[in-house]
Amino acid sequence: MITALVTDKAISIQILMESVKTDQAGAVASFCGDVRNNDADKAVKSLTYEVHPTAQKVIEEITQRIAGQHDVINVAVAHRYGAIKIGETAFAVVVSAIHRGPAFAACEKIVSTVKDELPIWKYQVFADGTSEWVNSA
């Protein structure tokens, strides 16, 4: 089972982990990217992700491609968009496999590839009143 989702709903790493578990898997590797209250030594007041209309298709393609390169059983990936509160999950990846090596490798590769290829942009507002776009052209 491979699930990939771009959503404006809250992401639960626990629910994703449960969705990939199976009696066949001896390993479940995960990554949970939460919104932090700082960036480059500046206090973050708010964060919003904007997505391109192709984002859902792109995240599905990335997940399928990377899962196919590794000996994994199940994969669940979710990236959030919209306004996200400090401490909430913005991006999560969970991979199950028979052994830990393929689970860790696939999880890391999916995280890196999504960060590189998903058309999503982060807008941060800092406590000092300044703001910035991250990953924008």
| SS3 at position 27 | strand
pLDDT, average across residues 3-19: 98
The pLDDT value recorded for residue 20 is: 98
Cα dihedral 9, 13, 15, 19, rounded to 10, equals 110
**What is the rounded CA–CA span in Å between residue 86 and residue 63?**
26
- How much is the mean pLDDT over the chain? 96
What's the average model confidence in pLDDT over 19-32? 97
Per-residue pLDDT reduced to its tens digit, 88-133: 999 999 999 999 999 999 999 999 999 999 999 999 999 999 999 9
pLDDT score at 115: 95
- Residue 4: the pLDDT is 98
pTM: 0.95
Tell me the per-residue pLDDT of 56-84, one tens digit each, with 9 for 90 and over.
Answer: 999 999 999 999 999 999 999 999 999 99
C-alpha 133/C-alpha 49 separation (Å) is: 9
pLDDT band at 134 (very low <50, low <70, confident <90, very high): confident
- Is 86 a residue whose pLDDT tops 90? yes
Backbone angles phi and psi of 70, in degrees to 5: -130, 155
* Domains of the chain, CATH where assigned: 2-134 (3.90.1170.40)
pLDDT exceeds cutoff 70 at 137: no
